[in-house]
């Protein structure tokens, strides 16, 4: 594990560095408070730190304050090294954001024990963050396809429309429906139907750009939100997405199946916050209905009924 050691006394710095390296740490050093704060603030910087109280520029407590003022999810466990021993000094350091303190000169065994405690705290924090992210994912994603669920994709659409209004850029929507999906379920069973939905989801995600969003809108319907995409580009990309589904048969537990999708497509320009997203969803749903009525496995484009 990487650890930052910050001390303006170079002899003490090198002695601490060698001792920690022998204990298996990857040591990063700083000889002043500004450099220590900069290193700890970097993305992917050390999450364990030994910081001397007295340093030029920023002292140890102020380094702690700078790091605690950050607003990200990466917690840094900081131990102050100090010759100060009064309870008032200890309280000052802890209130500045330090997690622990050691009186100099510190005993190697005590130092290793305190750092081991810090590592346990960081491991616990990592587990809590992982659990929180799993809960967040489950709350916004469809369990079968792992795509955004209906609420998640509509929230992303709302955010994308807000961004497009600020930047005066278009947003395009694709509403996709698996053709004859009821026949698949009735003929081959719901297990095969689920396999088809999972493979459609995979192909849709592979066919869109990294900044586009794909969600399961409901049943066998999928909604794709494409930011900064106008009518001309939409027509090209919609055909690519349609082709990505029908170009190769689907391998299922039953065998190979020919699957296609019908798509309703719309480009929204000039949106403002006073307009609900519902008219656009109705427009693209009407276009999808026309695509299925016209023979399926095709894209029908429509014009937004209202945008401003």
Peptide bond into 90 cis (omega under 30): no
CA 184 to CA 166: how far, in whole Å? 44
Catalytically active residues are 220
Q: What residues form DSSP beta bridges with 26?
A: 2
Strand order in the sheet with 26-30: 26-30, 2-6, 48-52, 77-82, 100-103
Look at the block and give the residue holding tokens 């999906």: 181
Q: Are strands 261-268 and 171-178 parallel, antiparallel or unpaired?
A: antiparallel
H helix runs in the chain, sequence order: 10-22, 33-41, 60-68, 87-95, 108-140, 150-167, 181-188, 190-207, 231-246, 278-293
CA 63 to CA 59: how far, in whole Å? 6
Look at the block and give the residue holding tokens 């669920």: 149
Q: What residues form DSSP beta bridges with 68?
A: none
Please state the φ and ψ torsions of residue 134, each to the nearest 5 degrees: -65, -40
């Amino acid at each position: 594990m990487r650890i930052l050691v910050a001390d303006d006394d170079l002899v003490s710095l090198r002695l601490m560095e060698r001792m920690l390296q022998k204990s298996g740490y990857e040591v990063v050093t700083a000889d002043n408070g500004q450099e220590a704060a900069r290193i700890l603030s970097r993305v992917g910087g050390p999450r364990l730190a030994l910081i001397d109280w007295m340093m030029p520029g920023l002292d140890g407590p102020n380094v702690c304050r700078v790091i605690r003022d950050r607003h990200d999810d990466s917690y840094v466990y900081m131990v102050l090294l100090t010759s100060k021993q009064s309870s008032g000094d200890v309280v000052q350091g802890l209130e500045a954001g330090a997690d622990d303190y050691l009186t100099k000169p510190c005993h190697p065994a005590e130092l290793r024990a305190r750092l081991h405690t810090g590592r346990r705290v960081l491991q616990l924090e990592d587990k809590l963050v992982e659990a929180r992210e799993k809960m967040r994912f489950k709350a916004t994603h469809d369990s079968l396809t792992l795509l955004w669920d209906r609420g998640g994709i509509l929230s992303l659409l709302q955010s994308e429309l807000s961004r497009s209004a600020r930047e005066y850029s278009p947003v395009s929507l694709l509403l996709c429906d698996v053709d004859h999906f009821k026949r698949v379920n009735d003929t081959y069973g719901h297990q095969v139907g689920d396999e088809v939905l999972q493979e459609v989801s995979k192909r849709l995600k592979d066919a869109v750009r990294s900044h586009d969003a794909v969600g399961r809108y409901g049943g066998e319907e999928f909604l794709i939100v494409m930011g900064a995409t106008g009518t001309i580009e939409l027509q090209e990309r919609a055909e690519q997405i349609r082709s990505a589904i029908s170009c190769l048969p689907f391998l299922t537990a039953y065998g190979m199946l020919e699957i296609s999708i019908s798509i309703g497509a719309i480009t929204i320009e000039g949106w403002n916050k006073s307009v609900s997203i519902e008219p656009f969803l109705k427009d693209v749903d009407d276009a999808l209905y026309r695509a299925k009525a016209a023979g399926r496995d095709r894209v029908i484009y429509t014009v937004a009924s209202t945008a401003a």
